[in-house]
Structure 1
């Protein structure tokens, strides 16, 4: 009960006034928008809140601005449609359900202390559909308490569990494809090797803001094999003095789209995830490559393969070409040999 003293000592029960009008709007369908021929109309929408947690102050701030606009346009005589939806798709909900099933103490503590989720409900959160349904119900109560002027008949969520919305998305994609705005192809994405799927920026437990990096592979011919080096600066190839390998690393010889490559094991896995056909032939110790020479592309110059402990098998292909004129570290490594 919130009592604030008004004029002349009168107490105003703001909470009861709020409850009265909130229920009246809801029960009488004040904000339900039906077609009215001849009346100007306007549609407003709010970015669908994700249902892996409760609504926060940011939702309240953004939705209130939209609600003010919707109410203003009604006062101007417009027939305003303000629907509301919930974002179910993506991996955070499935990931959270999996973490709960594994007893993730940090996440469970957050659900209890911040979201105030009862223990009996948390036990059911191992089912991602139940988790999404729970937060959708709770967040709808919050949106109604905020007094947003929504037509709740138009509520939906974004998965195949809502057949109407799912059919709309299918129609939309087919329509855009027919008009030539959508084509099927490939493009770089941030890929989760565990889930075997692309992961959007907000779908990750960590690494938000990370985007795919584009490397150029420069292939150095070494006998029957190629040593491909990943680089951001392919134009520096004319200054290459040697190729670096890590003598302590176990490399592999593999057929990559029909060519014999020597690369690190992590690079082999990355190439497989990029639609390359990779067949491992044998293991090659890094120290086995020392003293051999390889040919620089375009110029056909022969340069030596030298040892470098700084070469990381997790980075690029585990093979690095040295250009001391452009890279101080290469110059220092040559000096320290």
Structure 2
């Protein structure tokens, strides 16, 4: 559209006086304005209506099937983007991701490639299953979020009670939104990750990688959902995104034929252990772990059940029965006393804590708090606050 005025401009400057050139430049600009406004009168619309323009050209794209490639002699170019997850409506982040892919697809078409740009929807994982369960239960918060924020009418929302129905509803909504935006997608090739042909593709892909030794079987820590009994990652979690894997080291203190494991992030401090902490109000359990007998909190036992160890519950052990006994440090061989501590949580580690007061302020303060306390009911007669600290390093 602008080539004619541009070439005319060069022509006028070369062959006409300056005054004539300026006149003709103005004339060419007016012609360009007429072409842009769509009429010879030169009058442009007072208001720009984006919906009118977008609908017009999107309709022409659909009628001409310009985004529906067929095999021909041109070089092929295939592009996909991360599929949106179908547990809710699209948001601004989706639009950014899709726009990047759309820009690349359109650019390649302009270069002459035969571009295939399909669209898929991610439909696997526990959030969709969990969402269906929450809607079935009519969970108040879930109903509020999807009615008010996702703007799903209640009469429609209460009919979406299976993962398949959720996928169907949000895939229709997502496709409609992307069509309104104008992404250059071939919607004939729309699919979800639960479609039989897509599952076959994943199976083929996995087997191919396995044949090339790119996929091997092994073991590593994962976040685990005890309700659905499967591993989960961030995008699989309905709630609890802040759950993290903590890599503890277990120090096995020995008590007769039992092991009292202590979970620690600082295993090198085992050299400074002066005592163990046990909460007297907690009921612990004796469990058989592989071939060993452990005493841990019941919560720790539940966690052990989801590890690669063979775990068997034997009996309950009251916390106050452990206090006053002495265990053996597996590294130094020293004998250390078990003391009461109400701050020990059964949900943290094994429910039994090793104490290093020379380097852990809380352990030191806990020992100080026991000064002058009557612990004879645990069989402890000495003043435990005088237990000597064991420093790991020497400082001048």
Report what 1:30 is aligned to.
Answer: 66
> Structure 1 residue 170: deviation in Å?
0.7
1:236 aligns with 2:272: no
Number of residue pairs aligned between Structure 1 and Structure 2:
329
Relative to 1, partners in 2 of residues 1:14 and 1:332: Cα closer, same or farther, differing over 3 Å? Answer: closer
- Do 1:189 and 1:211's aligned partners in 2 also have CA atoms closer than 8 Å? no
- Among 77, 95, 100, the alignment partner of 2:112 is 77
Residues 25 and 31 in structure 1, CA contact (< 8 A), matched pair in contact too? yes
1:214 to 247, 271, 288: 247
- DSSP-derived class of the 1:283 partner: strand
Aligned twin of 1:117: 152
| Alignment check: 8 A CA contact 1:97 1:125 kept | yes
Shift of 1:118: 2.7
Contact 2:248/2:264, CA 8 A, preserved across alignment = yes
Please, which of 200, 222, 245 is the counterpart of residue 233 of structure 2? Answer: 200
Question: What SS class does the counterpart of residue 342 from structure 2 fall into?
Answer: coil
* 1:64 pairs with 2:99: yes
Q: Secondary structure at the match of 1:243?
A: strand
Task: Give the drift of 1:209.
Answer: 4.4
TM-score of the two chains, using structure 1 as the length reference: 0.93
Residues 112 and 118 of structure 1 are in contact (CA less than 8 Å); yes or no, is this contact kept in structure 2?
Answer: yes
1:124 alignment partner, SS class: coil
Q: CA deviation at 1:184?
A: 1.6
CA distance in 2, matches of 1:205, 1:158: 19
Post-superposition shift, 1:46? 1.4
Q: Does 1:245 align with 2:281?
A: no
Q: 2:80 aligns with which of 42, 45, 64?
A: 45
| SS at 1:226 equivalent | strand
Residue pair 2:279, 2:320 contacting (<8 A) in 1 also: yes
- CA apart distance, 1:15: 2.5
Equivalent-residue separation in structure 2 for 1:142 and 1:244 (angstroms): 58
Pairing partner for 2:176 from 135, 141, 146: 141
When the two structures are superposed, what TM-score results if normalisation uses the length of structure 2?
0.79
Q: Distance in 2 between matches of 1:199 and 1:65?
A: 29
In the alignment, does 2:122 pair up with 1:87? yes
Report the counterpart of residue 282 of structure 1 in structure 2: 315
Retained in 2: the 8 A contact 1:124–1:131?
no
Q: Deviations over 1:187-240 (max 9, x none)?
A: 111111122111221222333243311111110010111100001111111111
Counterpart of 2:346 in structure 1 is 313
Separation in 2, partners of 1:329, 1:111: 45
1:117 CA displacement: 1.8
- Over aligned residues, Cα RMSD in angstroms? 1.7
Unaligned runs of 5+ in 1: 1-5
Tell me how far apart the structure 2 counterparts of residues 111 and 23 of structure 1 sit (CA, whole Å).
31
| Partner of residue 326, structure 2 | 293
Greater percentage in strand: 1
Q: Per chain length, whose mean CA-contact separation is higher, i.e. which structure has more relative contact order (CA < 8 Å, sep 6+)?
A: 1
Equivalent residue, structure 2, for 1:18: 54
Contact 1:239 1:325 in 2 (8 A): yes
Deviation for aligned residue 1:111: 2.1
User: Larger Cα Rg: Structure 1 or Structure 2?
Assistant: 2
Matches within 5 A, 1:174-185: 174-185=207-218
Deviates more, 1:10-19 or 1:90-99: 10-19
